[in-house]
Amino acid sequence: MRILILNGPNLNLLGKREPDIYGHETLDDIERELRGHAGDGVRLDFLQTNHEGEMLERIHRAREDADAIIINPAAWSHTSVALLDALKAFEGRVVEVHLSNIHTREAFRHHSYISARAEAVVAGMGSFGYRAALEFLTR
Ligand code: DQA
């Protein structure tokens, strides 16, 4: 099974960025942890980008090279119909992850365009949310 793990804008700053909300782990820490937990036969690919077009084009390519996507769309969750449409064009499984519980935060974070395409949404579990998503997809 090929799983693509996508992280949107500002998540390159994880560990330094508002650690009281997003925790002290970096994206590299999370990648290492997920690779440690991926069983045989599970290939993980990672992309973090601050450029929406790059994210869209990676999702287009996923039509050919991924069976499932785990995505933290970050701020694009709340703004991007284009990201929703790209994920709709992808035919595999999609799980949405947020480190924080977006529903207990500012009102503008309560709605995610992406959730309409996600089979499952994890929010508020911190970095464990990615692992929960990985286990959900591979169990
Ligand atoms: C986030 C929540 C979003 O509202 C925010 O814009 C992010 C990160 C999260 O992981 O909790 O950048 O997706």
Segment 9-38, tens digit of pLDDT: 999 999 998 999 999 999 999 999 999 999
Can 103 be counted among the known catalytic residues?
A: no
SS3 content of the chain, % helix, strand, coil (to 5): 50, 20, 30
12 lines ligand 1 (CB under 6 A): no
Out of 98, 103, 111, 113, the active site residue is 98
- pLDDT of 21 reads 92
CATH number for position 95: 3.40.50.9100
- The alpha-carbon radius of gyration of the chain (Å, integer) is 14
* Domain of residue 87, residue span: 2-138
User: Confidence class of residue 39 from pLDDT cuts 50, 70 and 90?
Assistant: confident
- pLDDT of 31 reads 97
Q: Determine the Cα–Cα distance for residues 1 and 68; give it in Å rounded to an integer.
A: 8
CA of 57 to the centre of ligand 1 (A): 21
ipTM over 0.95: yes
Domain count, the chain: 1
Q: Determine the Cα–Cα distance for residues 77 and 83; give it in Å rounded to an integer.
A: 8
Task: Say if residues 99 and 128 touch (Cβ distance below 8 Å).
Answer: no
